[in-house]
């Protein structure tokens, strides 16, 4: 294990604490750059969705993970970004301009949502963001002159510097990776700046932050605006990837999926957003795979334990019937969420940290290092 | 004028159902400061239990109703024991996510067991109508209103006049102190979940003649009941019912008098406006933490 001796403040806020980080992230980036020439087109498509979800995850982490403001309305911000792009594209606005415009507009609307959110906390904030998302959904469905209503809008392939970039091309994938990397680096920089530290102070204790001279209202609105703007950028990519958008894509379900991204990844680190995005995008193909191959595998296992082919076939058809049940996916989703909250509250990244620490401290590792503290006395009602 | 009264009554009836689901939210929140996002799905499950007892097994309506309530009370305790108790004392966010997961699970499993069709329960109230002059009021709507009033009265008595109710209020203020004073906090929490599941079942069964029971009804109505609870001020029993009725009336009036599309949004717009002016809800307690 490597010991880091921090002798001044600069050591504490360094982007890469030691050379190991540069090597491992460099390798990861190299793998990402080679990926489109190796992977199948289906996996590439999934990888683009991973990038988009991870970008939204990072945005949500800034708001929920680091500022402590829960939001179940991020699908609405994504929708605003996507619709802005689709609308401006109709008037032949070039990509860089409508990309920025979508981010700025979504950021402004995010700030507008942030103002009322100043007076709300906990459950009231959650319901206010849900209400906002519903209202946006309804506006998208009704404002037909702009959004085309429930019929949805087509989104043409984006053209960058005069070159048309189709949604399945490696260039589009590189664009998504670039947006994700820029978002992550930008967020890291934000978090080590005074603004980021103010966010974390507000999350940990609003009263303490205020008494230290942090302008709580200003930073909460800032957090909302930044988070919304990043989601807006992701929305543009989302619209281009799907090439068709309609109001019923941006439902509460999607907002919940974004929350699941950061919950399953881990709410305390940016790694969590990426890992959570990988999880939520890849669970679909994985379940399809299970559905197609699991019956065969199970009947194979049954057959090796000495059962006749008739029993094995019977088992196979039973398992196939179970796997094709409507709603099995939802049930598995639900179980996974509950299991993570109950047994792995720090998420996938937390698990990785635990494994890492175990090997670093090998004979001396204590499980209680990561134990969370229960608080039975703090009432959310008294603020 | 006649239209107005007609709309008002159906709005109040619908609002009472919202109020009953909101009551479940409030009960659980009052006792444990947990927000149960699966409340609507508990209602859905209760409706399906009642459908199984009454529609499929052919039991008498009242026996089936009681059976469904009892079964759901047990189920509520089970859910509390497995999902909620291990994470009590952790931040709100964890518990919200756990109950969202529970909701997902219940919805999908109900879809697997009973299918995704709409189901209807025959009730003694589904046929009759009450005529006052030229005003026609359906019995099923009136039954919802009556049942809500009775349930509210019972719950109010329970919370304010019984020892267990007092214990619940104590453990909601400060779980640790309540535990030190000899209140069986774990049992209190289980009981609260049982009661809230039972109330949700009542809502589900009463609702069955008005909207049909299907596996997504919990999500749809839960999302309306949630603003109802917030509007009334989370943690206030009369607030939940008043909030529910307000949401129901606003929805039904908006559906009748405003252009299409307003019906679904109007409750949320009103909610946002109320939250802006009075962030703790209409009946919410305004307490300040001592630093």
Q: What is the pLDDT of residue A18?
A: 81
Residues of chain A with Cβ-Cβ distance to B276 below 8 Å are 116, 119
Alpha-carbon gap: B80 to the closest alpha carbon of chain A (Å)? 13
Instruction: Report phi then psi at A322, rounded to 5.
Output: -65, -45
**Is pLDDT above 70 for B285?**
no
Range picked from A69-83, B149-163, B220-234 for highest mean pLDDT: A69-83
Contact status of B15 with chain A (Cβ, < 8 Å): no
Across residues B125-137, what is the average pLDDT?
71
- List, for residues B198-242, the tens digit of each pLDDT value: 988 988 888 777 777 888 888 888 888 888 888 887 777 888 888
Q: What is the mean pLDDT of residues A297-325?
A: 73
Instruction: Give residue B288's pLDDT.
Output: 57
Angstrom distance (rounded) from CA A49 to CA A273: 13
**Per residue in B87-119, pLDDT tens?**
888 877 788 888 989 998 998 888 888 877 777
Segment A111-156, tens digit of pLDDT: 998 888 887 777 788 888 888 898 898 888 888 777 887 888 888 7
Phi-psi region of A306 (alpha: psi -120 to 50; beta: other; left: phi over 0): left
Instruction: Please report, for residues A41, A95, A169, the alpha-carbon distance to residue A163 in angstroms, rounded to integers and kept in the order given.
Output: 21, 11, 12
Give me the residues of A, 210-229, that contact B with CB < 8 A: none
pLDDT of A383: 47
The interface residues of chain B toward chain A in range 187-226, judged by CB-CB distance below 8 A, are 215, 223, 226
Question: Which residues share a beta bridge with B119?
Answer: B213
Among residues A48, A106, A49, the alpha carbon closest in space to that of A75 is found at A106
pTM, entire model: 0.88
Sign of the four-CA dihedral B146, B150, B153, B159: negative
In terms of DSSP bridges, do strands A153-154 and A244-245 run parallel, antiparallel, or are they unpaired? Answer: antiparallel
> What confidence tens digit (pLDDT) does each residue in A335-377 have?
888 898 888 888 888 888 888 888 888 888 887 888 877 777 6
What is the three-class DSSP state of B181?
coil
> Residues B131-158: what's their mean pLDDT?
81
Backbone region of residue A23 per phi and psi (left: phi > 0; alpha: psi in -120 to 50; beta: other values):
alpha
Are B89 and A328 within 8 A, CB to CB?
Answer: no
Chain A residues in contact with B98 by the CB 8 A cut-off are 337-338, 341-342
Q: What is the mean pLDDT of residues B42-55?
A: 87
pLDDT at A292 over 80: no
Flag whether the ipTM exceeds 0.90. no
Query: 3-class DSSP state for residue B50?
Result: helix
Q: Is the pLDDT of residue B291 over 60?
A: no
Closest of A207, A197, A160 to residue A179, by C-alpha: A160
Q: Report the percentage of chain A scoring pLDDT > 90.
A: 24
pLDDT at B77: 92
**A67 Cα to chain B: minimum distance (Å):** 13
**In chain A, which among 252-281 make CB contacts under 8 A with chain B?**
252, 256, 259-260, 263, 267
Q: Tell me the mean pLDDT in the region B46-61.
A: 84
Q: What pLDDT does A375 receive? A: 75
Three-class SS of residue A383? coil
Give the CA count within 13 Å in the CB-facing half-sphere of A82.
30
- Confidence (pLDDT) at B232: 82
pLDDT band at B126 (very low <50, low <70, confident <90, very high): low
Task: Report yes or no: A131 at the B interface, CB cutoff 8 Å.
Answer: yes
Q: pLDDT by residue (tens digit) across A170-213?
A: 888 998 999 999 999 999 999 889 999 999 999 888 888 889 99
Please tell me the distance in Å from B275's CA to the nearest CA on chain A.
8
Q: Chain A residues with CB inside 8 Å of B289's CB? A: 207, 379, 382-383
- Provide, as residue numbers in chain A, all residues whose Cβ is less than 8 Å from the Cβ of B231: none
Which is more confidently placed, A382 or B104? B104
Mean pLDDT of chain A: 85
Contact flag B112-A327 (C-beta cutoff 8 Å): yes
């Amino acid at each position: 294990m490597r010991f880091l001796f921090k002798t001044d403040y600069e050591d504490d806020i360094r982007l890469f604490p030691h050379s190991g980080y540069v090597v491992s992230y460099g390798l990861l980036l190299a793998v990402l750059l080679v990926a489109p020439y190796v992977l199948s087109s289906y996996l590439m498509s999934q990888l683009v969705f991973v990038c988009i979800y991870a970008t939204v995850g990072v945005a949500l982490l800034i708001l929920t993970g680091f500022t402590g403001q829960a939001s179940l309305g991020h699908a609405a911000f994504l929708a605003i970004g996507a619709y802005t792009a689709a609308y401006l594209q109709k008037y032949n606005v070039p990509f860089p301009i409508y990309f920025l415009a979508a981010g700025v507009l979504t950021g402004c609307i995010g700030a507008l949502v942030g103002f009322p959110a100043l007076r709300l906390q906990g459950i009231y904030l959650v319901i206010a963001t849900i209400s906002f998302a519903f209202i946006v959904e309804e506006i998208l469905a009704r404002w037909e002159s702009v959004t085309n209503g429930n019929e949805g809008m087509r989104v043409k392939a984006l053209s960058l510097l005069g070159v048309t970039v189709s949604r399945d091309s490696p260039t589009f994938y590189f664009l998504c990776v670039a947006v994700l990397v820029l978002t992550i680096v930008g967020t890291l920089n934000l978090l080590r700046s005074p603004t980021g530290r103010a966010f974390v102070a507000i999350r940990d204790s609003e009263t303490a932050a205020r008494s230290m001279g942090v302008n709580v209202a200003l930073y909460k609105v800032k957090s909302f605006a930044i988070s919304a703007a990043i989601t807006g950028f992701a929305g543009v990519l989302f619209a281009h990837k799907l090439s068709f958008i309609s109001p019923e894509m941006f439902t509460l379900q999607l907002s919940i999926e974004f929350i699941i991204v950061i919950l399953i990844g881990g709410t305390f680190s940016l790694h969590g957003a990426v890992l959570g995005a990988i999880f939520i995008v890849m669970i679909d193909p994985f379940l399809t795979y299970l559905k197609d191959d699991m019956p065969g595998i199970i009947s194979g296992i049954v057959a090796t334990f000495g059962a006749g082919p008739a029993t094995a076939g019977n088992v196979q058809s039973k398992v196939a019937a179970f796997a094709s049940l409507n709603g099995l996916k939802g049930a598995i989703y639900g179980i996974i969420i509950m299991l993570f909250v109950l047994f792995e509250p720090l998420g996938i990244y937390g698990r990785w940290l635990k494994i890492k620490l175990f090997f670093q401290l090998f004979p001396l590792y204590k499980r209680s290092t990561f134990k969370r503290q229960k608080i039975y006395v703090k009432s959310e009602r008294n603020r | 004028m006649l239209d107005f009264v007609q709309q008002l009554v159906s709005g109040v009836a619908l609002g009472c159902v919202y109020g009953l689901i909101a009551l479940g939210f409030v009960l659980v929140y009052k006792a444990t400061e947990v927000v149960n996002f699966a409340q609507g799905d508990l209602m859905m499950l209760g409706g399906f239990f009642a459908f199984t007892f009454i529609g499929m097994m052919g039991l008498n309506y009242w026996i089936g109703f009681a059976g469904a309530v009892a079964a759901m009370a047990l189920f509520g305790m089970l859910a509390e024991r497995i999902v909620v108790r291990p994470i009590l004392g952790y931040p709100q966010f964890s518990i919200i996510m756990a109950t969202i997961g529970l909701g997902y699970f219940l919805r999908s499993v109900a879809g697997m067991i009973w299918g995704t069709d709409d189901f209807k329960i025959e009730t003694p109230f589904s046929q009759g109508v009450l005529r006052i002059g030229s005003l026609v009021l359906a019995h099923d709507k009136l039954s919802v209103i009556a049942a809500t009033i009775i349930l509210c009265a019972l719950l109010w008595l329970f919370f304010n006049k019984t020892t267990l109710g007092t214990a619940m209020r104590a453990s909601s203020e400060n779980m640790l102190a309540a535990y030190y004073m000899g209140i069986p906090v774990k049992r209190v929490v289980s009981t609260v979940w049982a009661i809230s599941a039972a109330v949700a079942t009542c809502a589900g069964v009463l609702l069955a003649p008005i909207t049909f029971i299907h596996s997504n009804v919990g999500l749809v109505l839960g999302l309306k009941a949630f603003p109802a609870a917030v509007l009334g001020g989370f943690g206030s029993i009369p607030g939940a019912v008043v909030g529910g009725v307000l949401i129901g009336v606003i929805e039904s009036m908006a559906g009748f008098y405003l252009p299409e599309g307003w019906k679904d949004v109007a409750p949320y717009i009103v909610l946002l406006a109320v939250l802006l002016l009075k962030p703790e809800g209409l009946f919410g307690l305004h307490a300040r933490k001592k630093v």
